[in-house]
């Protein structure tokens, strides 16, 4: 992208849901409630052009907090505005029961169907019935016509995957400006990266709105006594200064602190999400929080996308941009804030991101503790 001094537009065509929210994609979600049903869910999703599946390794033999977090993530994912309806697929004997998940989705007033492999009498009949349900919901999605929307209706997710010099110099300032623009326009931004937040607690507390301080402290308490994350970001966050660690947050006060899988309230402004910086886990938490689009800063060029939200890849690393030109959407060395806003709105309006065009998706849920 080349630099431009002209202001970016603020409108795009989205999909207006019955509750008034707008989606930027029009997916039918086929949601396995347990690892045992994920292959069946994928088979069902293959039968409909609108359907996407979210295979995972959760839903069974998990202990209390993990079990609840998994269920909360399922509900947040189904409630994402990019989803026109959900087919929940269970096995029949799992801890996170498919009928309970479907009932909770239904309580939110969202279109949902449910079935289980045991309840339908085996794999083949479950795939057959699930395909009928997905096709029915896809028909409802097809009747949802594109409608005008604007940036103030967007929730933008952000995850920064590294502390590379190119990220700190080029990408983070650009993303911070986008976050400020979205919030100033009346939209919302949700930012993952709990390693950064925990490593710089004083700075996060200074950035938090007064009404949010208790929630900030509660997040820190959840991590108290736990060993620091033994990943590259965790180690770098501990040694970096606060400006480097929190550089993509922008300048607005933190209005919300979201637990993993929790949906952001309407008009939340800037929110932080208690999710790690590992892309796959962060993207799922951001999607469950309600992000329409996820902006992923990656010096390494991690190519993974997500099943239900388009992922806009941005990098400032010269070697990555040369080697992975078809996998990175925005060159942070050359792009202006206007360019990034235009890219966001183009994706919101239906333009495929690099990961979408390549069909690259990952769905992962972080764990609180060990499974049995």
Residue with tokens 């329409």: 292
Q: Where are the domains of the chain?
A: 27-143, 152-358
pLDDT at 333 over 50: yes
Look up the CATH architecture of domain 27-143: 3-Layer(aba) Sandwich (3.40)
Residue 9, pLDDT score? 58
The number of angstroms, rounded, from the C-alpha of 186 to the middle of its chain's C-alpha atoms is 20
For tokens 């009747």, name the residue. Answer: 143
pLDDT value at residue 224 = 85
For residue 62, the SS3 value is strand
The pLDDT of residue 227 is: 59
CA distance 340 to 329: 10
pTM for the model stands at 0.94
- Identify the pLDDT of residue 1: 35
Percent of the chain with pLDDT over 70: 94
pLDDT-based confidence at residue 159 (cuts at 50, 70, 90): very high
Mean pLDDT of the chain: 92
Can you give 7-24 as a three-state secondary structure string? CCCCEEEEEECCCCCEEC
Q: Which residue has the higher pLDDT, 217 or 58?
A: 217
**How many CB atoms sit inside 10 A of residue 56's CB?**
21
The tens digit of pLDDT for each residue in 222-247 reads: 998 665 555 678 889 888 999 999 99
Fold agreement (27-143, 152-358): yes
Class of domain 152-358: alpha beta
Considering the chain, what percentage of its residues have pLDDT values greater than 90? 82
Residue 369 pLDDT grade (very low, low, confident, very high; cuts 50, 70, 90) = low
| The two structure tokens encoding residue 161 | 């995957």
User: What is the pLDDT confidence band of residue 67, given thresholds at 50, 70 and 90?
Assistant: confident
């Amino acid at each position: 992208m080349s630099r431009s001094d002209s202001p970016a537009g603020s409108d795009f065509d989205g999909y207006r849901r019955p509750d008034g929210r707008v989606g930027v994609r029009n997916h039918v979600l086929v949601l396995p409630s347990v690892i045992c049903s994920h292959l069946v869910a994928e088979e069902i999703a293959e039968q409909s052009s609108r359907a996407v599946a979210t295979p995972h390794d959760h839903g069974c033999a998990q202990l209390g907090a993990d079990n609840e977090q998994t269920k909360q993530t399922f509900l947040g994912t189904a409630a994402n505005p990019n989803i026109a309806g959900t087919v929940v697929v269970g096995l029949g004997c799992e801890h996170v029961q498919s009928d309970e998940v479907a009932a909770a989705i239904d309580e939110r007033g969202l279109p949902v169907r449910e079935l289980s492999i045991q309840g339908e009498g085996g794999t083949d009949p479950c795939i057959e019935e699930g395909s009928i349900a997905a096709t029915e919901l896809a028909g409802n999605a097809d009747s949802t016509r594109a409608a005008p929307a604007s940036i103030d209706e967007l929730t933008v997710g952000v995850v920064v995957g590294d502390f590379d010099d190119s990220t700190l110099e080029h990408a983070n300032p650009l993303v911070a400006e986008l976050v400020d623009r979205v919030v100033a326009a009346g939209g919302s931004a949700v930012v993952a990266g709990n390693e950064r937040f925990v490593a710089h607690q004083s700075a996060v507390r200074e950035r938090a709105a007064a009404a949010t301080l208790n929630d900030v402290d509660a997040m820190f308490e959840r991590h108290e006594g736990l060993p620091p994350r033994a990943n590259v970001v965790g180690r770098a966050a501990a040694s970096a200064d606060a400006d480097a660690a929190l550089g993509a947050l922008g300048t607005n006060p933190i209005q919300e602190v979201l637990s993993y899988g929790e949906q952001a309230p309407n008009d939340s402004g800037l929110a932080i999400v208690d999710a790690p910086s590992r892309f796959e886990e962060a993207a799922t938490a951001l999607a469950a929080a309600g992000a329409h689009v996820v902006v992923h800063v990656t010096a390494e060029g991690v190519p993974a996308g997500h099943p239900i939200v388009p992922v806009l890849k941005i990098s400032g690393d010269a070697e990555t941009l040369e080697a992975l030109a078809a996998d990175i959407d925005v060159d942070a060395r050359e792009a202006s804030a206007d360019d990034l806003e235009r890219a966001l709105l183009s994706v919101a309006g239906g333009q495929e991101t690099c990961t979408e065009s390549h069909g690259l998706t990952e769905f992962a849920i972080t764990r609180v503790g060990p499974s049995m």
